[in-house]
Structure formats: C-alpha cells, structure tokens
Amino acid sequence: GLDLTQVFFKSISNTHPPSSTKRHTKISVIGVGNVGMAIAQTILTQGLVDELALVDAKPEKLRGEMMDLQHAAAFLPRTKIVASVNYTVTSGSDLCIVTAGARQNPGESRLNLLQSNLAMYKGIVPELVKYSPESILLIVSNPVDVLTYVAWKLSGFPGNRVIGSGTNLDSSRFRFLIADHLDVNAQDVQAYIVGEHGDSSVALWSSISVGGVPVLSFLERQQIAFEKETLEKIHKQVVESAYEVISLKGYTSWAIGYSVANLAFSIIRDQRRIHPVSVLAKGFYGIDGGDVFLSLPAQLGRSGVLGVTNVHLTDEEIQQLRNSAKTILDVQNQLGI
C-alpha cells in the first residue's frame, strides 16, 4: 500500500542534516487527579520535555485524561504523551512528580492523610526507582514534608535528588497577597515562607523585598505606621487559604499546577533558581534531632538540589523553624520506617 510517511517526507528528509543530538527529556506524573493534571497541562504549555508519561491506578480515567491532552496537540509545543497503569511507561524519566494520594476533605489537616498515603508510596516509589534510577523525585502528595522523607527512605536516592514541593505554593500565595496589598506585580515581590507546608509554616518577614526595597526597614525608616499586624494577617491568610479554597471548590489545582511546573522548569532547564522547597534540612539553621525534610530556600538545577541559601533569620524565625522541624519529626518518628 501507499506509505504516506515516505511520500510526504521524501523531498524534505534529504535536504536536512541528521537530527540533532539533543538529549531526550522526559517527565512522569504519578496520579492524574486534579493536581496531577494541572501540573501535566502546565508542563505541556511550556514545551518543557519531549515526553510526558502519566500513571494512575484508575485505567479508564487515565486513558481519558491522556486522550484529552493529546487532542490539544495542535495548539501546543510537540510532546509525546503516554499513559499506563504499568510503571514501564515511566522508564528513563529525568523527573518523576508524585501527586497520587488521598486529599484533604473540607476541614481535614494534611497530617491526617499520612497513613493511607504512606501505604500508597510503598507501592509507587520502588517502581519509579526501578525504571528511572537516575531520576529526580519531586513529591507533591500531602503531608508533603513527611512523604518526601518517606520517598527518600524508600528510594535510597541521595538527598539532592529528592525534593518536596513544600512551601513553594505557600510562598506564591504570600507573594500574591503582599502584591495585592501594595498594588504591585507579584513577580517583583520576593518573600519566602519556609518550614512545614501547612499549619506551622514560618514567614520570613525580615527578608521581604519589593523591587529590591526591603519592606520592613523601608516602612520603619519612613515612619509609616508599622504594618506588622497587616503582615501577620497576610501570613494567617496564607495558612488558611488552602482550607478556604478546598471548602469552596473541593480541592486546589491551578496554583499548585503552576508552582510545580515552575520547579520542573528550574530542574530540567538547569535554571539554578532559588525556590522554597522541601529538602533534607538537617544541619541547616541549627536544625538537628534527626533527618527531616522541610522547606528552605534552595537552589535547583539539573542535578536537583544544588544548595541551600543562607538567608538571615531573626532569633524568632529560627525558633519557629525549629518548632516546625519538631512538628514534622514527631510525626515521622511514629512511622516506623
């Protein structure tokens, strides 16, 4: 019969040099729920990888989501999209993003999800390691800090290759609210929330700046009524915002999608940008007492975590960070892994 491919490409293939030697890049997303799909679609819009693999426990939903994304091919940078309940499909991934797991019901805390998600991770992480032994693991399921520790333990990977999305999302919520308050662009607001992704997170007030202007000292110098109260309200709003969105729409998806795709970009494209993400924190900022993952401003690149920046913390901030570490360690110690 007629080989359409040959007919179509006959005249073109001879005039082009052999295809480039550019490395094939691949990301796998485990769990195609609200969060996994928001991440997957944002990655696609960025043309970040050559191949995107999706895995979920529900084959029909998985196939439906794969087809729905594939049907957008005419509007997107070219990306091969594959999906299976079998982990062979993830083979050779540069980055594996895990979003599988139970999510919070309205009013439920993140820590409450631990037992069911722990059992799930015992099934997922060894499979990812088997098919992509050189990959970087990026953990999103909650409670994200403890599950990042779990993934590190189960994978046997070095600490620099296991990262939790951590307070990257909290920090972007923080930047939005500060920007909204000051009527500036959120991209010009530098502000970090560190520690646990959740109720004990720590806002680093002393390092907030807008367009290079340190906010706190500026306000003090200008003798503008000190806005500490407003700022504290903003942090409280950040902590409550996930609960609020969940009670309103049932889950969160768009902001976590963009925030994780942004991390994936920094890693795959070796951007060496600094993100507040969950990393092996033992030894930093006086955190001791055990191997604990929590968010610190970390530099990310092609080999994962390149380092942790030395932000100046006030004594109060250091104390809060240690308390946050203790909250996570207390949970971890009950895991028995």
Mark out the alpha helices in 132-253 (DSSP H runs).
144-155, 168-182, 215-221, 228-249
Q: Does residue 33 interact with ligand 6V0 by CB under 6 A? A: yes
CA distance to 7, 9, 114, per residue, from 12 (Å): 10, 5, 55
Q: Does residue 243 interact with ligand 6V0 by CB under 6 A? A: no
Q: Are strands 136-139 and 162-164 parallel, antiparallel or unpaired?
A: parallel
Smallest distance, ligand 6V0 to C-beta of residue 253, A: 7
**C-alpha distance across the termini of the chain, in Å:** 60
Pick from 41, 90, 93, 104 the residue near ligand 6V0 by CB under 6 A. Answer: 104
Pick from 32, 83, 263, 298 the residue near ligand 6V0 by CB under 6 A. Answer: 32
Nearest to ligand 6V0 of 178, 256 (CB atom) = 256
Q: Does residue 28 interact with ligand 6V0 by CB under 6 A? A: no
CA distance to 26, 157, 159, 212, per residue, from 129 (Å): 15, 9, 14, 42
Nearest to ligand 6V0 of 81, 144 (CB atom) = 144
Is residue 313 left, alpha or beta, with left meaning phi > 0 and alpha meaning psi from -120 to 50?
A: beta
Say which of 16, 197, 275, 312 is annotated catalytic: 197
* Token pair in block for residue 186: 């959120």
Q: Does residue 114 interact with ligand 6V0 by CB under 6 A? A: no
**Binding to ligand 6V0, residues 249-268 (CB under 6 A):** 251-252, 256
Query: Which residues does 156 contact at the CB level (< 8 Å), separation at least 6?
Result: 129
Smallest distance, ligand 6V0 to C-beta of residue 96, A: 12
Q: Does residue 48 interact with ligand 6V0 by CB under 6 A? A: no
Q: Does residue 278 interact with ligand 6V0 by CB under 6 A? A: no
CA gap 122, 26 in Å, rounded: 23
Smallest distance, ligand 6V0 to C-beta of residue 119, A: 9
Query: Which residues does 87 contact at the CB level (< 8 Å), separation at least 6?
Result: 55, 127, 128, 130, 131
CA distance to 120, 124, 214, 228, per residue, from 96 (Å): 15, 11, 37, 40
Alpha carbon 311 to its chain centroid, in Å, reads 21
Q: Does residue 165 interact with ligand 6V0 by CB under 6 A? A: yes
Nearest to ligand 6V0 of 219, 246 (CB atom) = 246
Q: Does residue 140 interact with ligand 6V0 by CB under 6 A? A: yes
CA gap 98, 151 in Å, rounded: 10
Q: Are strands 95-98 and 26-30 parallel, antiparallel or unpaired?
A: parallel
Smallest distance, ligand 6V0 to C-beta of residue 65, A: 9
Name the nearest CA neighbour of 160 among 139, 136, 143: 136
Pick from 8, 24, 47, 58 the residue near ligand 6V0 by CB under 6 A. Answer: 58
Instruction: Judge whether 197 counts as a catalytic residue.
Output: yes
Q: Does residue 142 interact with ligand 6V0 by CB under 6 A? A: yes
Residue nearest to ligand 6V0 (CB): 33
Cis peptide before 143 (omega within 30 of 0): yes
Q: Does residue 100 interact with ligand 6V0 by CB under 6 A? A: yes
Nearest to ligand 6V0 of 120, 274 (CB atom) = 120
The answer to whether 266 and 275 have CB atoms below 8 angstroms apart is: yes
Q: Does residue 308 interact with ligand 6V0 by CB under 6 A? A: no
Smallest distance, ligand 6V0 to C-beta of residue 62, A: 8
Q: Does residue 113 interact with ligand 6V0 by CB under 6 A? A: yes
Footprint of ligand 6V0 on this chain (CB under 6 A)?
30-36, 55-58, 61, 99-104, 113, 120, 123-124, 140-142, 144, 165, 169, 197, 251-252, 256
Which residues carry out catalysis?
197
